[in-house]
Structure 1
Amino acid sequence: SSDIAHYVYQTGTAHGKRVQAMGGAKNHGIVLPDADLDQVVKDLSGAAFGSAGERCMALPVVVPVGKKTADELRERMVAEIGTLKVGVSTDPDAHYGPVVSAQHRAKIADYIRIGQEEGAELVVDGRDFQLQGFEQGFFIGPSLFDGVKKGMKTYHEEIFGPVLQIVRAETMEEAIALPSEHQYGNGVAIFTRNGRAAREFAANVNVGMVGINVPIPVPVAYHTFGGWKRSAFGDTNQHGVEGVKFYTKVKTVTARWPEGDVADSSFVIPTMK
């Protein structure tokens, strides 16, 4: 969690240590009206529900721009969720397996209850899911909320489970503001066919890692990985040159190899000559 990451960072740096402490996340996917919704739905399905949503780079918030985009995306997501198979981890046909513990399953279910109490519309409820033959397993079905608002606890905090929240926006500016103003700044994605809109988004959004038509923007290892705000504490990222920098200290050597047997006094102290 970010509270623990912040504690580790403060404690380590107070003792003169260099620290990388990765915290929580609440990654957003912005969907513009010109996006390929067939591809977006597939991308969201994997990014939101893959690994049961238990990964820091999951995409649990989708922000469709405009009512038409939101209504169509919602309809398609409901249909897509109906095709997902929850199963044991050894089932090659399963899209995802159980969550990590009974306690965490209960925590996810509690977040779903809170979301309803806050006034969000629970479109798909996965709490009653049971897998035949594994009734005591820590399984939870995919869930979908619509009408989520930025003031809600379930939007502010990381659920870390197979729960996708729809937060509607009227304009691109409003959509950019949502991840930019959120306490976490790990990853964000935009789905669009418009190159100019994508460039503006990437330049202006206040998030550490940006995907353009890439739902989980994890760069390859020779680039760096790390978020902003309460998603990461420390002044260097992981992997790549930044990772090497974290584990090394700079040594600077100044050398001169004078010729001849007589020292030139002009080199003893720097002068303007």
Structure 2
Amino acid sequence: TPFNFPGMIPLWMCGPAIATGNAFIIKPSERDPSVPVRLAELFIEAGLPEGICQVVHGDKEMVDAILDHPAIGAVSFVGSSDIAHYVYNRGVANGKRVQAMGGAKNHGIVMPDADLDQVVNDLAGAAFGSAGERCMALPVVVPVGDDTAERLKAKLIPAIQALRVGVSTDAEAHYGPVVTAQHKAKVEGWIQTCVDEGGELIIDGRGFKLQGHEEGYFIGPTLFDHVTTDMESYKEEIFGPVLQIVRAANFEEALALPSKHQYGNGVAIFTRNGHAAREFAARVNVGMVGINVPIPVPVAYHSFGGWKRSAFGDTNQHGMEGVKFWTKVKTITQRWPDGSPDGGNAFVIPTMG
């Protein structure tokens, strides 16, 4: 399971798995392993027999041990797309059922009739909440038409500048640090890459220092405009507090951007026009769609899962899809004798006659 949701995502997996009769092994991220350990302890305190939910720690060696072990019948994964692809291929090669959720580059399409105040409010949370470290972040905004883009940017700049970066004990903070020093350097490297590629840097979050925590892994909110589809910083997942504006001339161009992108996790459209919303939802090549909803994560009794390089396998996580993944279909065909001693002729196929 990934570092960014060490409680929620293990529960997506182990809850349905255990409820449908399986034993379960959690392999947490080595970056924050304590929450899954506490989950397992709480399961035991609640009465779950020991051994039904176990936690193992490690890196690739432990992952490979899970993927290769003959007694393990199914594997569920959430993380980066490259690792998801690896987990899927190795697990399937060993005869396991595998669902492997990967990365994302979610787009927010802003139509000219959208409520821009609401859009800006939604983008502030969706793009920068959790320091952008979630696969359902909204790191790309696509205003339709230059007039929409200019009006949106004028409202975005002061809203982003007003965001407060802080520690978890600061109730006024909008988001905190990224997970490691290495990831901070990686995100800042993507910012420089976008600059080098010709993106217009409007707000630069590099070099941010939080008073009293100067060595912390903090990155200020960052905004780019005039990002284009040929840029590597657009093609790849940055996974940090960086929002890129990619302008579209019309609805069809905006629709094509998320549809053609290598990732297909989530997408949102902001509009007051019901026809545009329905047309977009029906045609966009993305697994989860929000209409005036910036982070289109379905509630738990539905399911979670993207398309393309955002997900490998044919079954989504949690909800009834999760129940389906953690169970197998067994078909039983029965025929009961009518009670006669000789049983009649046993060489004919039963019919309704």
TM norm structure 1: 0.97
Q: Tell me which of 134, 138, 161 is aligned to 1:55.
A: 134
Matching residue's letter, 1:76: K
Residue in 1 that maps onto 2:40? none
Residue in 2 that maps onto 1:11? 90
Question: Are positions 1:100 and 2:179 aligned together?
Answer: yes
SS in structure 2 opposite 1:71?
A: helix
Q: Tell me which of 85, 90, 98 is aligned to 2:164.
A: 85
Residue in 2 that maps onto 1:40? 119
Q: 2-side partners of 1:90 and 1:268: how far apart?
A: 75
- Gaps in structure 1 of 5+ consecutive residues: none
| Matched residues, number | 273
Residue in 2 that maps onto 1:115? 194
1:135 Cα offset (Å): 0.6
Deviations 1:227-247 (A, max 9, x none): 000001011000111101111
1:260 Cα offset (Å): 3.4
1:173 Cα offset (Å): 0.6
1:265 Cα offset (Å): 2.2
Contact kept, 8 Å, 1:53 with 1:60, in 2: the verdict is yes
Q: 2-side partners of 1:268 and 1:155: how far apart?
A: 65
Matches within 5 A, 1:172-191: 172-191=251-270
Deviates more, 1:3-12 or 1:262-271: 262-271
Q: 1-side partners of 2:158 and 2:344: how far apart?
A: 83
Seq. identity, %: 74
SS in structure 1 opposite 2:228?
A: coil
Q: 1-side partners of 2:352 and 2:151: how far apart?
A: 73
Q: 1-side partners of 2:275 and 2:256: how far apart?
A: 18
SS in structure 1 opposite 2:97?
A: coil
Residue in 2 that maps onto 1:141? 220
Q: 2-side partners of 1:219 and 1:271: how far apart?
A: 45
1:270 Cα offset (Å): 5.0
Contact kept, 8 Å, 1:89 with 1:98, in 2: the verdict is no
Q: 2-side partners of 1:265 and 1:172: how far apart?
A: 69
Q: Tell me which of 246, 249, 263 is aligned to 2:343.
A: 263
Deviations 1:33-53 (A, max 9, x none): 010000000000000000000
Q: Tell me which of 210, 231, 237 is aligned to 1:152.
A: 231
Matching residue's letter, 1:150: T
Residue in 2 that maps onto 1:64? 143
1:2 Cα offset (Å): 1.0
Q: 1-side partners of 2:346 and 2:278: how far apart?
A: 54
Residue in 1 that maps onto 2:76? none
SS in structure 2 opposite 1:223?
A: coil
Q: 1-side partners of 2:206 and 2:352: how far apart?
A: 78
Question: Are positions 1:211 and 2:316 aligned together?
Answer: no
1:118 Cα offset (Å): 0.3
Residue in 1 that maps onto 2:327? 248
Deviations 1:85-110 (A, max 9, x none): 00111100000011101111111111
Matching residue's letter, 2:262: Q
Matching residue's letter, 2:319: G
Report the aligned-residue RMSD. 1.3
SS in structure 2 opposite 1:20?
A: strand
Deviates more, 1:145-154 or 1:125-134: 125-134
SS in structure 1 opposite 2:244?
A: strand
Matching residue's letter, 2:220: G
TM norm structure 2: 0.75
Q: 1-side partners of 2:240 and 2:265: how far apart?
A: 17
1:4 Cα offset (Å): 1.1
Q: 1-side partners of 2:114 and 2:351: how far apart?
A: 64
1:26 Cα offset (Å): 0.3
Q: Tell me which of 211, 230, 248 is aligned to 1:169.
A: 248
